[in-house]
Structure 1
Amino acid sequence: MTGSTRGLFRAASLRPILALLMVMMVVPMVSGQEDAGADTTDHGGSIFAPFVSRLRISTRDPEIRLTWKDSEDVDGACRIYRHTSEINAETFLDAELVAQVESGVQSFIDAPAHPGDYYYGVFAESAAGSLYEIFIPYRNTTFAPVTVANVATLAERSAHIRGIQAVENDGVILVEYESDQVGRELIVYRSTSPFTAPDDLLSAGIVATVMSTVESVIDYPVPGVPYYYGVVDSALVAEGSAVFEPGGNATETSVEIPLPTAAAALQPEPEPETTSEPVEQQPDETSASPQVASVPQGTPEPVEVVEQPEEPAEAEPAQQVFVPEISRRRPLPLPFLQLNTDLQTGDRLGDAVITVADPQSISSTTQAALDEMLGRLTPRSPESLRPEILPEDTLPSPHGAEFTLRTILDGPIANLAWEDALLQLNNFLSLPLSSDVRSRALFYRAQCFYFTGETARAFVEFLLARDAHFAEAEGWLDVILGSSAGA
């Protein structure tokens, strides 16, 4: 067993302790809410958790997307509240009720009317309609604010490109265009096929990523190959809503750098040089010495007129041209420096050891509650596993990159066509995606690797997706580690 695997098993051994701490935190909260208007009395000595969990927030200005997991102990609707401060018992009265959704929906899209920082809380209702005012950060309330920077849609604030031109000049391709926005990030693409649809980006290469103040880019493509160019706002590419207009942000005709032999043939032959003996110019004897003309008396002296230099015209601002650096590349990564001795004293440093507190005995009530909670967790057998779809990918009306991902989920993944799903996900992940969409695509690709028997690659992919989808990825990691341990 490798060191990293031992570390994972060591981390897994801490889960009962974390679960215990969560139970000890939740039970006082529930018992302390008896005057909140909802029924929180004892339910046969079992755990009663009338609150949602796994509240997750994602933003796509001007929309804020909320997903959560309903409580198993109540069947009532959920109310969504919004506030400019963290929602707790002191600030709840000033929170704004945004919406009420039925049980089982487990998602909502909010669009605040003004930019700013917002906090959210999702609270469950009892069957009688009473609200369970229980505040648990990271479970049913947000601890950090969600920032809405702009209420305008992405299409309204993105840069629109027009007048694109690509010309060959002395062995390079100069791409010129105009942008109607400042402060936007643009991506310049190159392809051997014309740009007509967003899917054309899958076979295109990125020439440069520049700000919208740069309106000229120099490219060094392979000579002898005709290329087309396109420029688009990077945010539109990440959303999957990039649109190409021939003659606007995409070239209508291809351009190529001539091959060296063809370029030499096109150049006219230089005319033969003729040499001749230089002819010495004989000085004119009459002009050997300067002649001074006599000026009659009384004639006014001529006035010397000095021409004034013209004032230079006001210089136009120089156009910014992006020239890529093609030689400054480090072929190998630098080695990791691990210090074993103190740099000042020379004393040997001890190994870093993570200490764990000594186990403490718990009360019988807490032990019974913990046993019941762990009893609900039935082990997942590899044979019974099915594709798992994240709550974010059940929201209505996806568009852009999320629509493309949804077609993969509803197509090859729903039909258990894992090889086809892997091919489409690989192409999808080659696009510049937002971190949220990319983590979800990695989660689904990890499942494809698992069902095709590539558990090692699936394990790595689940680790990459775990930061954004911890609870879902952990279950799959447990299955992989369990099957590896039993092998």
Structure 2
Amino acid sequence: MRRRTVFLFLLAVAAFAAAQAAGPSGSGPVGESELAARITGIAAAAAADGSAIEVTFASSDSRRDLLVFWGTAPMSTAEDLLRSTATTQLDAGAVRYAVPVLPGTDWWFAVLDAGLYKVGGVPLVPGENATIRGVRVPVAAENQQTAASPSRNLPLPSLQLGVAVATGRSIETGGLPEVPSERDVSPATALAIAELLRAAGPAPRPIVKVQVLGADVAGGDPALQSVAADTLARGDWLGAEKKLKDYLSIRRTPEIKALARFYLGQAYWFQGRLRDAFFEFLGCEDVLPRESRTWQDACLGELAARS
């Protein structure tokens, strides 16, 4: 999970650089700009149970995948996106997302078309696709939720942050105990840890082959299964890419779409297009979590090895 977060940050840096090259408008190539969904009517409010902030919006094209950003400062420029706390990809058709956040801190949100963002387009319009006011989960709601949940016996500590990471402003802790002070391990323990790491050696790089899933996975589709078992398995990466893109141009169920993106990610992988492959595997994670994460890790490992 940490490596995926780092990679998404690197993608944000690349998107910002592309936006700078495109000019002050921040729009991508004409073709992608015309295809991109327009996000309007964004709104954010604390959930009734105090567990998250719910973000709602409208999309002009329900077929397009989206990205939602959130952070502790307003977002109106590409630089603001780079400083956002986190981002995640939403499936096509999504018009709401619940973000679990730290209570007692103001949060801002933005939603963009994923395809346009990939090529550097960051058309942020406060009030349309970016919130203009900070929204927070009250500390009282968090305290009620904590009181309702079963407590653990001491000495297990509960993590409490005294200040907001991004702003440095104080956060109410509700009287909960503070985090214990950090302590260094003994020299003998440090030596043992170093020896274990040395003996383990570097993590082996995975040997990845074409992975064709069973016909019953995600509902199955003979046409899609034929592309995977024939064109993709034979190593015709360009042919598989074209057929899968044509297949995805028609509206599919979320399960079938995820399976097609899983195979498209493999076609990109074997062409060396690791960045595109990662996005496809990330987009099918909800339906194929175990399979897609294996390929995501492979993409991140190869990208790290090349850097």
TM range (shorter): 0.3 to 0.5
TM-score between the two structures when normalised by the length of structure 1: 0.24
Q: TM-score, normalised by structure 2?
A: 0.37
Larger proportion of helix? 2
In our comparison, the structure showing a higher alpha carbon Rg is 1
